Amino acid sequence: MSVLGGKNILLGISGGIAAYKTAFLVRLFKKAGASVKVVMTESSKDFVTPLTLSALSGNPVLSSFVNSDEDGETWNNHVELGLWADLMIVAPATANTLSKMANGSCDNLLLAVYLSAKCPVYFAPAMDLDMYAHRTTQESFRKLESFGNIMIPAEEGELASGLVGKGRMAEPENILQFIENHIISGLPLRDKKVLITAGPTYEAIDPVRFIGNHSSGKMGYALAQEAAALGAEVVLVSGPTALTLNDEKIKVVPVVSAEEMYQAVHAHFAHCDIAILAAAVADYRPKEVADTKIKKASAVMRVDLEPTKDILASLGSIKENRFLVGFALETNNEFDNAVAKLKRKNLDAIVLNSLNDIGAGFGKPTNKITFIDKELKSEAFGLKAKSAVAKDIFNQIIIRLHA
C-alpha cells in the first residue's frame, strides 16, 4: 500500500493547459488509497471539466465561495477544507497563481484554501520556458519554499507554445512518485527493519485437536501497519489468525506452533533493527503428539506437557544493539511481574497490559497499556483502539532510539 493510503488530499487546479493532466492525477491518488477533493479556479474549467474531476474523485468539485441552486445558497468553507487535508497539491501552478500564493493575494477559493491550509503544500509549476525562467517567477519559487512549501520541479520537453524547454508540469506518475518519496524521506523509521510477532500458537495433541489461546493477533497486526506507515520494512511472523494485510512493505510469515515461530523469528532477527514480540506463544506443548485422532475411551484424558522454547529470552541473549520489546499480559502484581520479565529476558522495553482492565486483553478492538523501559521509566496510557496503541508504542520506541 502506498504511503498515501488513507490520506486526505486536496488538489488545487489553476488555469493552464496542463490542467487536463489532473484527471489522471486524481485517478492515481485514488488508486493509491487516498481521499481526494478538488478546488478549481474559474479559468481552469476551460481546460478540464468539474464533472470529470467529480466523477473521478467521488466528491463535488468546488470553485467559488458560494454555491447557488434552487434551494438557495451554500457557503464553501475554505477553513474546513484546509483543516480536512493531510496534503495539498497545487497542480498546475501557473505563474499567476504562484505569484498570488507567494504574496498573500486571495481573490479566489483556491487561494483562500491555500492560506488556510495547516498541512504540507506541494506545487507543480507549469508555464512557458521564458515565464519559468523569469526573475519574478524564480522569486515566487524561492518565497514559497521559504514558507515551507515543496516544489515539484517542472520537466523539460515540448511546450504548448511549440517551444522546447523547461516549464512542463511534471507528469502525473512523477508527481505521485515525488510526493511518496518526499513523505518517505521524512519518516522516522525509514531504512529500518522491524520484526513483529502476532497471534496465538497452536500446539497439536493429535491431527484434530490442539492447545491454544484466545489471541486474535489484532495488536501485532496494528503494530505491523504502524511500523510500515512510519517507513519501516516489516516482517510479521503470525500465528493462526483470521486477519489479513495488503501492504508491500509488510512480509507476513505464517506459522502454527511455538517451535515454528521460534525458527521463523530467529531466521529474521539478525536482519532487524527493532523486534516487538506481541504474540501469545504457548508456554507448554504436548510431550507426545498422536499420529491419529485420539478416541474418547474414558471420562478422563491425560496429556503430559513440556515447556516450549522461550523465544523472547533467546533473543534477549543475542540482541546486541537491536531494540527488543516484549509484552506482559498480567492478572496480579502487574507492574512488578512485568519489570521482572523485562530484566530476566534482557529487554529494552516491555508493554504491560492487564486482564483486569475492562476493554483490554485478547480479542478486543481496544487495549490499555503501560510502556516500561530498561531504565524503569514508564508511561501509562488510557484505553484506546489498538491502532492508536500501536502509535503510542512506536512513539515511545522512537523517543528512546533518538535519545
User: What residues are labeled active site?
Assistant: 213
Cα 113 off chain centre by: 26
Q: Grid coordinates in use for 329?
A: 499480559
DSSP 45: G
Q: How many residues in total does the chain contain?
A: 403
Backbone angles phi, psi at 388, to 5 degrees: -70, -35
5 grid coordinates: 493510503
Residues 6 or more apart whose Cβ sits within 8 Å of residue 84: 8, 10, 37
Tell me if 1 sits within 8 A of 246, measured CB to CB.
yes
Helix (H) or strand (E) holding 68: strand 66-69
Q: Are 206 and 296 in contact (CB under 8 A)?
A: no
Residue closest to 323 by CA, chosen among 282, 269, 280: 269
Please tell me what DSSP assigns to residue 62: B
Contact 234, 250 (CB under 8 A): yes
Host H or E run for residue 349: strand 349-354
Please name the amino acid found at residue 336: D
> In whole angstroms, what is the distance from residue 239 CA to residue 234 CA?
16
